[in-house]
Amino acid sequence: MTLLITWPDTGPETELRRTSDPTEIQAALAPVGVRFERWPVRDDVPADAEAGEVLAAYRDNVERLTAQESFTTVDVVSLHPADDPDWPVRAAAAREKFLREHTHDDDDEVRFFVSGSGVFYLHVNGEVHAVLCEKGDLLGVPRGTAHWFDMGIRPSFTAIRFFHEEEGWIGTFTGSPIAARFPDFDTISTIGTEPAVCP
């Protein structure tokens, strides 16, 4: 279930918004320059499909977006639980890299979820928008926007990534501890669409 929750950046004690409606999510994020789209999903693409198969399956939308935004590089990133004794260590290291607030000085961060899920946290204009993205969701975070990403303690997702710069992902970390104040992926992925009611 795709979900948007917005809080003041002082903490999650007060919810300003909670919605799972894609139209409402798009409308809420557009004023801060964040792109949100839903693409038709391909159920014939396995969660662990090879990059070439993924890109071929979504070729039309990939080519459309690449032409619109002049992206120079498109690739596929995939992280799924494996029968590998090193997997927990690799998964924890991957999670830690993106879990600290950062910006991108020279590129947008654009991801389309082919399978699985993850939460993007956007820190903009005194608010934090947590966007739980799932299969079929595309999110574009504009360059310079403070954000972080959580894939949970057992990451499982495949995503298409779009870049303007050939160097790929380059983050500038803000040094802020803000990410620790907000619910993580594992908490957000288990809550419902209705806002909590305070007694």
Q: Tell me the per-residue pLDDT of 129-170, one tens digit each, with 9 for 90 and over.
A: 999 999 999 999 999 999 999 999 989 999 999 998 776 667
* Secondary structure of residue 168 in the 3-state scheme: coil
Residue numbers in the chain where pLDDT is lower than 50: 196-199
129 labeled binding residue: no
Query: How many domains does the chain fold into?
Result: 1
104 labeled binding residue: yes
In this structure, is residue 195 part of a structural domain?
Answer: no
Residue 171's CATH number: 2.60.120.10
In this structure, is residue 10 part of a structural domain?
Answer: yes
In this structure, is residue 173 part of a structural domain?
Answer: yes
147 labeled binding residue: yes
Runs of H (alpha helix) within 32-182 = 51-57, 59-69, 87-98
Q: What is the per-residue pLDDT for 197? A: 43
In this structure, is residue 196 part of a structural domain?
Answer: no
Q: What is the per-residue pLDDT for 90? A: 83
Q: What is the per-residue pLDDT for 149? A: 96
In this structure, is residue 199 part of a structural domain?
Answer: no
109 labeled binding residue: yes
- List the domain range (segments joined by +) for residue 28: 3-188
29 to 33, 100, 130, 169: CA distances (angstroms) = 7, 21, 11, 22
